[in-house]
Structure 1
Amino acid sequence: MANTELLCIVRNVSAEGINVEIFGELNLPTDIEIELAGGTRIAIRKIWQRDRSSGFQFLAPIEVEDFLDPPQTYPDKRAIRLRVNERVIIKNAKQFDRALMVDISVRGAKIEALDGLGVGHDVEIVVADLGAHKSNVRWLEDGLAGVLFYQPIRFDRLAMWSARIAAEGRPSDIG
């Protein structure tokens, strides 16, 4: 599970720790980080794990208010992204090609930009085990493209997908 990211639901939080629900039967490492919606990362240590629930202790006490409403490190509020290293298929009216997806959220993804891809183009992104997603190219920069899904992926579906690729040992492009 090294270099893997998972989505989880925080069930409760105190200044000393949190209880989270993960989507899959995974043996989580003892020391990990949790990333909040604003991009803030907090070091945590696993105290217990039963089925899909896990209890973690913060390595340093936190302010619960800051955890619940974290400062934004991004210019706009955005959905949490999972950094991945997944091959996808990109389809449009003129092109059918493979590309690397470097992150995904419930609302969109960041992929390698292909020749002929332009801002405003409609494409279909096919992700193994997640299906096809009609999308619109929103930006192009440094060889990457940001796409917005016309129909968001349900959080629990994306969370189960991330747990499945973690269980298969497919690393994220992090670390």
Structure 2
Amino acid sequence: MQNALKFGAAPRRAVGAPYGEVEQRIAERFTLLIRAAKLVTDSGEFLCVIRDVSETGISVRIFHRLPDTHRIFVELQNGDGYEVDLVWQDEDRAGFRFADDVNIMRIIEMPSSFTKRAIRLNLAARASVVTLEGRSEIVEITDLSQQGAKITCSCQFAIDERVKISADGLPETYAKVRWRKDGSCGLIFEDTYQYGDLARIAEHLQRAG
């Protein structure tokens, strides 16, 4: 799954159901095909894919067991966030109830004044960065996406310098330094991570931290 995640929305109906029941289900539930999002919790931020949404709640695909936590927000690619309560979860799905009333059409249409970009996870994970010359530096990953990462460090990497970053849960990944500012650097990965792989990596990094 890459950045440009396509989606479609169509009401789901049950074959053979009475008209009143069908009408109620049409009003209540929409099927969203591949909508990237993240779950923001007290224990970290985790990737998911929204599949079903109604005026009362959503169903999402998950890539690992969710942590026990008191507050959860679902955040879309346009930055909209919704507080939810976990109702159920199994191996790769979870269902949530909205804590407040929502505008379901805004969730489906996901309007934004900016170009959609990959979901970025805010976290704090210790990592190692090695330059081609063999210099090794301990850094902290503070932002992670399919394409790259933001790190904080006490060293100075050169713009466009090729480096290798790794951590407990993050395999060795080659990247280039895209920018640097105030003790932080932006890395762009040479190979993009698949969405599910990144979800599991981020979960491991935050659990290890």
TM-score range, shorter chain: 0.7 to 0.9
Q: Say whether 1:134 aligns with 2:182.
A: no
Matched positions, count: 168
2:130 maps to 1:91: yes
Query: Which runs of 5 or more residues in structure 1 are unaligned?
Result: 171-175
RMSD: 2.3
Corresponding residue SS for 1:60: coil
| Distance across 2 between alignment mates of 1:17 and 1:7 | 18
How far has the Cα of 1:32 moved from its partner? 0.9
Q: Is the 8 A contact 1:99 1:112 kept in 2?
A: yes
Aligned pairs for 1:26-175 within 5 A: 26-29=66-69, 31-72=71-112, 76-94=115-133, 95-166=135-206, 168=207, 170=209
Contact in 1 for aligned 2:138/2:153 (Cα 8 Å) = no
Which ranges of 4 or more aligned residues in structure 1 deviate by more than 6 Å? none
Secondary structure of residue in 1 paired with 2:44: coil
Q: Which structure dedicates a bigger proportion of its chain to helix?
A: 2
Cα distance in 2 for partners of 1:57, 1:134 equals 40
Question: Which protein has greater RCO, CA pairs closer than 8 Å, 6+ apart?
Answer: 1
Structure 1 or 2, whichever has the larger Rg, is 2
TM-score (norm 1): 0.83
How far apart are the structure 1 equivalents of 2:84 and 2:100?
8
Secondary structure of the 1:25 match is coil
Percent identity of equivalent pairs: 28
Other structure's SS at 1:157 match: helix
SS in 1 for 2:96: strand
Q: Residues 70-114 of structure 1, C-alpha deviation per residue, up to 9 Å, x if partnerless?
A: 3448x5432111111111111112322111111111110000145
Q: Structure 1's 27 and 65: CA in aligned 2 closer, same or farther, altered over 3 A?
A: same
Kept in 2: contact 1:37–1:80 (CA 8 A): yes
SS in structure 1 at match of 2:105? helix
SS at match of 2:89: strand
Which consecutive unaligned segments of at least 5 residues does structure 2 have?
Answer: 1-40
> Does the C-alpha gap of structure 1 residues 33 and 157 become closer, same or farther in structure 2, counting only changes over 3 Å?
same
**What is the one-letter code of the residue matched to 2:174?**
K
The residue identity in structure 2 corresponding to 1:25 is R
Structure 2 contact 46–199 (Cα < 8 Å) conserved:
yes
- Tell me what 2:36 maps to: none
Partners in 1 of 2:166 and 2:208 — Cα distance? 21
Amino acid at match of 2:52: N
CA shift, 1:27, in A, is 4.8
TM-score scaled to structure 2, two decimals? Answer: 0.71
